[in-house]
Amino acid sequence: MGLVVKKFGGTSVGTTERIQAVAEQVKASREAGDDVVVVVSAMSGETNRLVELAESIHPNPPAREVDVLLSTGEQVTIALLTMALEQIDCPARCYTGAQVRILTDSSFSRARILDIDAEPLQEDLQRGRVVVVAGFQGVDEEGALTTLGRGGSDTTAVALAAALEASECQIYTDVDGVYTTDPRVVPEARRLDRITVDEMLELSSLGSKVLQIRAVEFAGKYRVPLRVLSSFEEGPGTLITYEEEGMEEPLISGIAFNRDEAKISVIGVPDTPGIAAKILGAVAEANIEVDMIIQNISQQGLTDFTFTVHKRDYQATLDLVRDNAEQLGAREVYGDDKIVKLSLVGVGMRSHAGVANTMFRALSNEGINIQMISTSEIKISVVVEEKYLELGVRALHKAFELDVQPVAELEGLSDE
């Protein structure tokens, strides 16, 4: 297939036995004719161990030194994996992020990749070596070590695949692909053979935490073919595609849900210009992220305003808005943290009317009341009472026949 970048997370390299299993898998790819670059995370548990060491010394350890500390985690893994490869006669060479060099900005603990020098890696590949690279880490212009934040190894893999113009970037995880919804909620949930990057982004941000959202964005930007697959069992996984490939898209790809939100309603505020900014300004200043925002139409010069925040920010937000209620001229402020957000995702819905209608009818048939609605090009989200999570997801999964392989997708597969 050419050059493949494979990324293995902490669980996949959690023990020396697992590292040896990864080495075997990499060797098999080499023997099948691929050039292979492997990106690895720290062995599972290692990052937490290091964080605990730091916190036993400093209650709020400085980010620059935390990055020096944490980047040892992947450095251990690259050394061990390279030894495991050499042990089975698969020539390999390993590199830290700084060695590659993966140039980042200087935002310690959440740095962004600016550039990658792929030259030395190309040389190793030409000599028939497997290249093993430490994920999650880089170096800034002044030579300081940086890390990309949790899950940053996915981003490293995608960035390397882009820089090396790899034919595929394979992210090995503990699931065997992206599903139409969480199989623990809907046993009929089906693994998708393909999904578009836009859908993947919506699914990631909505709580299907298969891939880091930054990695998916990165992959989209550089058109890196991305595949999610299991490091524990064989299988094709799910390929993340780009739209210009022109296959007919299924109507709906999946259903995401998010239990982590709470809603705040500001009732009966004067519908004057700038009222939304007034309400949300204080929230933004407190560094609280707002997800859905809904403002109903005005009645008698008054309007209702509702938004959602993460559950952990619920009480702080409620207190904040209540403190401002008088100044805002609001009649009432109330909140509810017993809610859940259900989202239908699919690029196909752009060209198909009636998706929203089918969704609302399916929920209504189950007696589920919709509290909030928000839509985007390829997504419809609704907020319902928390207790309806499973019922709602199952009803939608059935209504859109997600348990059945769509004809278009089957045709798409036969092209391969």
CB of 183 to a second copy, least distance (A): 34
CB of 146 to a second copy, least distance (A): 12
For residue 350, say whether it is annotated as part of any ligand binding site. no
- What angle (nearest 5°) sits at the alpha carbon of residue 116, between those of residues 200 and 151? 40
Tell me the CA end-to-end span of the chain in Å, nearest whole number: 12
- What angle (nearest 5°) sits at the alpha carbon of residue 278, between those of residues 374 and 379? 10
For residue 152, say whether it is annotated as part of any ligand binding site. no
- What angle (nearest 5°) sits at the alpha carbon of residue 327, between those of residues 324 and 332? 65
Closest C-alpha among 79, 89, 93, 90 to residue 43: 79
Of 110 and 278, which has the nearer Cβ to a second copy? Answer: 110
For residue 15, say whether it is annotated as part of any ligand binding site. no
Q: What is the dihedral of CA 286, 287, 291, 292, to 10 degrees?
A: 30
**Tokens representing 98?**
């700084």
The conformation of residue 191, written as its DSSP 8-state character, comes to B
CB of 241 to a second copy, least distance (A): 37
**Near a second copy by CB under 8 A: residue from 83, 247, 280, 391:** 83
Angstrom distance (rounded) from CA 40 to CA 77: 7
CB of 310 to a second copy, least distance (A): 29
Token look-up 């309806």 returns: 388
Taking every pair of Cα atoms in the chain, the longest distance, rounded to a whole number of angstroms, is 79
- Provide the residue type at 389 as one letter: L
Of 32 and 88, which has the nearer Cβ to a second copy? Answer: 88
For a second copy, the binding residues in 322-361 under the rule CB under 8 A are none
Q: How many residues bind a second copy (CB under 8 A)?
A: 34
Of 86 and 385, which has the nearer Cβ to a second copy? Answer: 86
CB of 153 to a second copy, least distance (A): 17
Token look-up 């509702």 returns: 306
For a second copy, the binding residues in 5-34 under the rule CB under 8 A are 16, 19-20
- What angle (nearest 5°) sits at the alpha carbon of residue 320, between those of residues 315 and 326? 130
> Cα separations (Å) of 179 from 188, 231, 254, 399?
10, 16, 7, 16
Of 75 and 181, which has the nearer Cβ to a second copy? Answer: 75
**Near a second copy by CB under 8 A: residue from 33, 89, 143, 273:** 143
Query: What binding mask, one character per residue, do residues 36-75 give for a second copy by CB under 8 A, x or -?
Result: --------------x--xx-xxx--xx--xx-xx-xx--x
For a second copy, the binding residues in 155-174 under the rule CB under 8 A are none
For a second copy, the binding residues in 273-312 under the rule CB under 8 A are none
CB of 17 to a second copy, least distance (A): 9
Is residue 153 within the footprint of a second copy (CB under 8 A)?
no
Angstrom distance (rounded) from CA 173 to CA 9: 7
For residue 184, say whether it is annotated as part of any ligand binding site. yes
Angstrom distance (rounded) from CA 402 to CA 314: 34
For residue 173, say whether it is annotated as part of any ligand binding site. yes
Of 79 and 370, which has the nearer Cβ to a second copy? Answer: 79
Burial class (CB in 10 A: 0-12, 13-18, 19+), 170: buried
For residue 196, say whether it is annotated as part of any ligand binding site. no
**Near a second copy by CB under 8 A: residue from 21, 44, 86, 295:** 86
**Near a second copy by CB under 8 A: residue from 82, 180, 196, 241:** 82
- Provide the residue type at 363 as one letter: L
Of 94 and 226, which has the nearer Cβ to a second copy? Answer: 94
Of 19 and 178, which has the nearer Cβ to a second copy? Answer: 19
CB of 162 to a second copy, least distance (A): 22
Sign of CA dihedral 335, 337, 340, 345: positive
Angstrom distance (rounded) from CA 232 to CA 234: 7
Burial class (CB in 10 A: 0-12, 13-18, 19+), 184: exposed
For a second copy, the binding residues in 196-225 under the rule CB under 8 A are none
Chain centroid to Cα 110, Å, comes to 15
Of 66 and 349, which has the nearer Cβ to a second copy? Answer: 66
Angstrom distance (rounded) from CA 252 to CA 412: 16
For residue 209, say whether it is annotated as part of any ligand binding site. yes
Interface contacts to a second copy, rule CB under 8 A: 16, 19-20, 50, 53-54, 56-58, 61-62, 65-66, 68-69, 71-72, 75-76, 78-80, 82-84, 86-87, 94, 96, 98-99, 143-145
From the annotation, which residues make up the binding site for ATP? 7-10, 173-174, 179, 184, 209-210
From the annotation, which residues make up the binding site? 7-10, 47, 74, 173-174, 179, 184, 209-210
From the annotation, which residues make up the binding site for substrate? 47, 74
